[in-house]
Amino acid sequence: MTLHLPSGPALALGAASASYQIEGATAEDGRGVSIWDTFSLVPGATKDGKDGSVACDSYHRYQDDVDLVADLGADLYRFSVAWPRIIPTGVGSVEERGLAYYDRLVDALLARGVTPTGTFYHWDLPQALEDKGGWLDRDTAYAFADYAMVVHERLGDRVKVWATHNEPWCAAYLGYAAAVHAPGRREGGEAHRAAHHLLLGHGLAAERLHAAGSQDVGIVLNLAPIWPEPGLPPEAADGIDAIRNRVWLGPLVDGAYDAGLLRVAPVLADPELVREGDLDLIRGSADWMGVNYYTPVRPGPVEPTPAGDVRHPETDAYPGAEPVTFVVREPRTDIGWEVDAYGLEELLLETYKRTGLPLMVTENGAAYADDVVADVPGVGRCVQDEDRRAYLEDHIAATERARQAGADIRGYIVWTLLDNFEWAEGYTKYFGIVHVDPQTQERTPKASYRWLQERLRG
Ligand code: FCB
């Protein structure tokens, strides 16, 4: 039984953000260095060579963000806490000024009637921990649980709904196998160790949070519907599904890594890695689950490669799985992701069937170029993002359909409030319902924001 997840008759709506993508002020008030500060400096790591050192300057302008969320009429605001602001070197001494920032943010949200929901880890690992092995090292899981408890002790009286991790698939496989996210390592199948340690960190934190009285501890996963293309051998599709979806759901629901997963990730059978008690700790540890969805995954057969070359770069993020190509059909958003709202409906129904847990769509949204700007009477000049509005409308409808079909879905949270630092894409892809001028930091709601506001006003 969760206590504080939205439970009204209507789907709760909100907007999301993540610390490194919006805060800036990376060298202020004692904040330590994160792996994204380091990684962004590597030539070629981000498309425009930029980093999050300024971003949307939300560290100073959080009140503007809160006003935008409140004026939208949103029920929820999903934010993440930057670990290096709280414990600059990952373990040990706590930075009071970092905690004070989130105090101010949370109080500002509550003062305007918006429910804050927090995420402890949205990818900004303290660099000092990466220097000791990062998520490949078991100690990082224990450090994570300690950090989560520090945050919860301070904010838990006001923030009741927490997620431990955001998209651990990205943290493990984009970070430690495909090298497109921080820390930018290419460790192949070793990345499965990172996956296990992320799950262990979740389990350790959940156990202690529950002991401290929290009943709304979740985890946010970017699960995906896997739709194989004709001609793909079944085991190739199974390998993708195993590493994208089952590596998380197996331990969380059954307390086990399944045989199909162990076929592609044999290291997960190593008793030195998966120690006695780990899986018992993880099983049943989530009170709710967040689903982030943007696009379906369509693995297809690989084109013939020169003799001997069995590696396919698109499969780097799925170490151990048979090589595939990922087919992307039309229509696509500006980041090249296929638009298919039915994928969300199917995913929610399947995830509910599999887990039985209350769900929230913790992220969904679309990148578009935002090149249509018009003067709107009574509003002024703003981006006319009809494409984004349609995407949101269709995906909210898909969420409602899954709900009517019986899935226990409590909320839908748009990614994202502000145009921001889009990881490896730098500042070249815009997901915001609010435009941000990179020079002046002026925030201007787009047509999609106005549409959502009308909808929320009923
Ligand atoms: C998700 C991330 C989020 C954002 C969106 C577009 O994978 O959780 O921070 O970058 O994609």
Task: Dump pLDDT digits (tens) for 29-58.
Answer: 999 999 999 999 999 999 999 999 999 999
Domains, the chain, ordered by start: 12-297+330-457 (3.20.20.80)
Atom of ligand 1 nearest to the CA of 18: 9
Q: Which residues line ligand 1 (CB under 6 A)?
A: 18, 21, 166-167, 170, 222, 292, 363, 415, 422-423, 431
- 292: enclosing H helix or E strand: strand 288-292
Q: What is the mean pLDDT of residues 331-359?
A: 98
337 CA to middle of ligand 1, Å?
A: 12
Closest CA to 243 of 329, 177, 166, 330: 177
Q: What is the mean pLDDT of residues 206-222?
A: 98
For 276-309, the pLDDT digits (tens) are: 999 999 999 999 999 999 999 999 998 766 665 5
| 454 belongs to the catalytic site | no
Atom of ligand 1 nearest to the CA of 21: 9
Catalytic residue among 130, 322, 363, 422: 363
CA pair distance 126, 139, nearest whole angstrom? 13
Give rounded-to-5 percent helix, strand, coil for the chain: 40, 15, 45
For 150-198, the pLDDT digits (tens) are: 999 999 999 999 999 999 999 999 999 999 999 999 999 999 999 999 9
Pocket test for ligand 1, best of 363, 392, 418 (most atoms within 8 A of CB): 363
Atom of ligand 1 nearest to the CA of 431: 6
Residue 416 CB neighbour total at 10 angstroms: 23
Pocket test for ligand 1, best of 22, 56, 80, 167 (most atoms within 8 A of CB): 167
CA pair distance 126, 144, nearest whole angstrom? 10
For 429-454, the pLDDT digits (tens) are: 999 999 999 999 999 999 999 999 99
For 243-253, the pLDDT digits (tens) are: 999 999 999 99
Residue nearest to atom 4 of ligand 1 (CA): 422
CA pair distance 43, 47, nearest whole angstrom? 9
For 51-104, the pLDDT digits (tens) are: 999 999 999 999 999 999 999 999 999 999 999 999 999 999 999 999 999 999
Catalytic residue among 167, 322, 338, 345: 167
| 400 belongs to the catalytic site | no
For 188-207, the pLDDT digits (tens) are: 999 999 999 999 999 999 99
394 has a pLDDT exceeding 70: yes
Atom of ligand 1 nearest to the CA of 166: 8
Residue nearest to atom 2 of ligand 1 (CA): 167
179 CA to middle of ligand 1, Å?
A: 16
How high is the mean pLDDT of the chain?
A: 97
CA pair distance 267, 196, nearest whole angstrom? 10
β-bridge mates for residue 220, sequence order: 166, 290
Q: What is the mean pLDDT of residues 356-376?
A: 97
Q: What is the mean pLDDT of residues 357-368?
A: 98
Q: How much is the CA Rg of the chain, to the nearest whole Å?
A: 21
Q: What is the mean pLDDT of residues 211-236?
A: 97
- pLDDT, residue 345, reads 98
391 has a pLDDT exceeding 70: yes
Q: What DSSP string runs through 376-414?
A: ETTTEEEE--HHHHHHHHHHHHHHHHHHHTT--EEEEEE
Residue 239 contacts residue 318 (beta carbons within 8 Å): yes
